[in-house]
Amino acid sequence: MSIQPIRLFGDPVLTTPAELVVNFDKELRTLVEDLTQTMHDAPGAGLAAPQIGVSLQVFVWDIEEGDGHLINPTLDLSEDLQDGEEGCLSFPGLVYETPRAFRAVAKGFNMHGEPVTIEGTELLARVLQHETDHLKGIVFIDRLLAAERKIAMADIRNSDWFGQAQDLGNTPIVKFSPHATNGRAI
């Protein structure tokens, strides 16, 4: 188990759709452990594999309502929306009002390859949407209303971390064969 560097916005791995997991093996379990440990170290409320440079459909979360991990997720969303602020560990220090569906039902698999369904409203629904987006190469600023997104882009250009993304290497890694968040970012 090890804490991994978190990739920052600007790193192409964050805007690349992740591969489906096909091997539910020891390497996958190590990835889930690494994600969990890195999320807790940050600390964050959620973390997706591309954020540590692994382009596979895996994410973890840990919020008051509970914690978990999910692999190869698909989402069903309510039409009702929720308001709330959202941040991301790949955008240090930046938080924006981000519209999301109020309720989400995520279907996928656990690390043992067993099917699981996670249902959540409010914060859990927000986390499930944010992390599933990461697996599609979508980042939360893509979900902002136009005016807010303009502000976000200016903030990013002015941030002290922007431009450092390339330092960690910019090639998405597929480790396996392809075959508002309580003040914490996700």
Please give the single-letter amino acid code of residue 38: T
Task: Write down the least CB distance from residue 131 to Zn ion, Å.
Answer: 7
* Number of chain residues interacting with Zn ion (CB under 5 A): 2
Contact 170, 12 (CB under 8 A): yes
Q: Does 58 bind Zn ion (CB under 5 A)?
A: no
Q: Which is nearer to Zn ion, 21 or 47 (CB)?
A: 47
| One character per residue 84-113, x = contact with Zn ion (rule: CB under 5 A) | ----x-------------------------
Q: Any idea which residues carry the catalytic annotation? A: 131
Rounded CA gap, 161 and 177, in Å? Answer: 32
φ and ψ of 11, to 5 deg:
-80, 125
Under rule CB under 5 A, residue 54 binds Zn ion: no
From CA 125, how far away is CA 173, in angstroms rounded? Answer: 28
Contact 54, 31 (CB under 8 A): yes
Rounded Cα distance between 102 and 125, Å, is 6
Which one of 20-28, 80-88, 154-162, 174-182 is the stretch in contact with Zn ion (CB under 5 A)? 80-88
Nearer to Zn ion, 24 or 67 (CB): 67
Nearest to Zn ion of 14, 28 (CB atom): 14
Residues interacting with Zn ion, by CB under 5 A?
88, 186
